[in-house]
Amino acid sequence: MFRWIGWLAPVIVLLSGCGRPASGNPDAAKIAVSPPAAPAALPDNAGYPPDYAAFKAAAAEFAKGETHLIQVDGEPGEARHFDLMDCAEADRVKEPAGQAASPLETLARRVALLQRSLLTAGYPPELFETALRDYERRELAYWAAAAPTELEVPDQSGDRYARALTRLASDIEAARQTRRPDLPAIIVEGGCGAAESPAVIRSDPPGGRVWVITKFAFDVCKASRRDPWDRETCARWSEMDPGRPAELSGNYAYQARWPDGSTGRGTRRIEQAPGDTPAVYLVRKN
């Protein structure tokens, strides 16, 4: 269904599952969508702010689908460790230009990914679940009291972000030393480098209009019982400019409409692209 074409730049062809004339309102066409799985563990959701339960449900789907988890690491000859600072966080879900994620969305994803990564790395839940829940509660309280000018996704270089994560690491590490000293230490080291992934999304044949949304925002709409394909009720869709690269990475849903009324839609992962040459993604009718 997807292939790379080596011509000046990587080209990815997106073959949608539907290339058909529109009838009625195809952009709001209903499809059978099962609700995201409920977030595992971290009980006691009383007092969650509005929409956070939907963010948690979407975050559970996000973490379940991630293949690049945080892993135990360490240089040869040195003690191995588990670094809670996820250097890939900013690129796991990158919003199109003009869209902004709530810091609570980022928090929900971070908690879900840490939970799955720790479990996959062999840390039993009793070592980290209480600490992770307390961390989540502290972050929710912080953002509830934050001034409007502060309501932006925290950068990993920020002191407050690092301090909050360091406190979480200390709490988990204390439990590890007491109960499972055989497991690698829990730390916050960081040292992340910046990464960019320019991409151009175009219709094929030309002349079509293409919209994309992060898979996470798509799942938030599903969890909120809104039709995720309806660009009015699910408002995080962004139209792509076929002549301008966009910084994108992660999983996306896309939909397209051509002048003849044909439509197409589907999902696609956009990987980090090396170098400065944008990868070109083509949305093509069958």
The pLDDT-based confidence of 274 (bands split at 50, 70, 90) is: low
**pLDDT at res. 192:** 64
Q: At 49, is the pLDDT very low, low, confident or very high (cuts 50, 70, 90)?
A: confident
Say what percent of the chain tops pLDDT 70.
Answer: 73
pLDDT at res. 27: 39
Give the pLDDT band (50/70/90) at residue 284.
Answer: confident
Q: What is the pLDDT of residues 53-94, one digit of tens each?
A: 999 999 999 999 887 888 888 766 778 899 998 877 877 887
List the alpha helices (DSSP H) in the chain: 52-65, 89-92, 103-120, 125-145, 159-179, 215-223
Helices 215-223, 52-65: crossing angle, 10 deg rounding: 130
Chain segment 181-232, per-residue pLDDT in tens: 999 999 998 656 555 568 889 888 889 999 999 888 899 999 999 999 999 9
**Nearest alpha carbon to residue 200 among 269, 277, 266, 268:** 277
C-alpha dist (Å) from residue 178 to 127, 171, 181, 182, 185: 9, 11, 7, 10, 12
8 A C-beta contact, residue 258 and residue 203: yes
pTM of the predicted model as reported, rounded to 2 decimal places: 0.66
pLDDT of residue 95: 82
pLDDT on residue 5: 29
Res. 283: pLDDT tops 90: no
- On the question of pLDDT at 19 being above 70, the answer is no
CA–CA separation, 187 and 85 (whole Å): 8
Instruction: Kindly state the average pLDDT of the residues 104-114.
Output: 94
Q: Which one is predicted more confidently, 159 or 126?
A: 126
Residues 247-259: pLDDT tens digits? Answer: 887 889 999 999 9
Kindly tell me the burial class for residue 280, based on how many C-beta atoms sit within 10 Å of its own C-beta (0-12, 13-18, 19 or more): buried
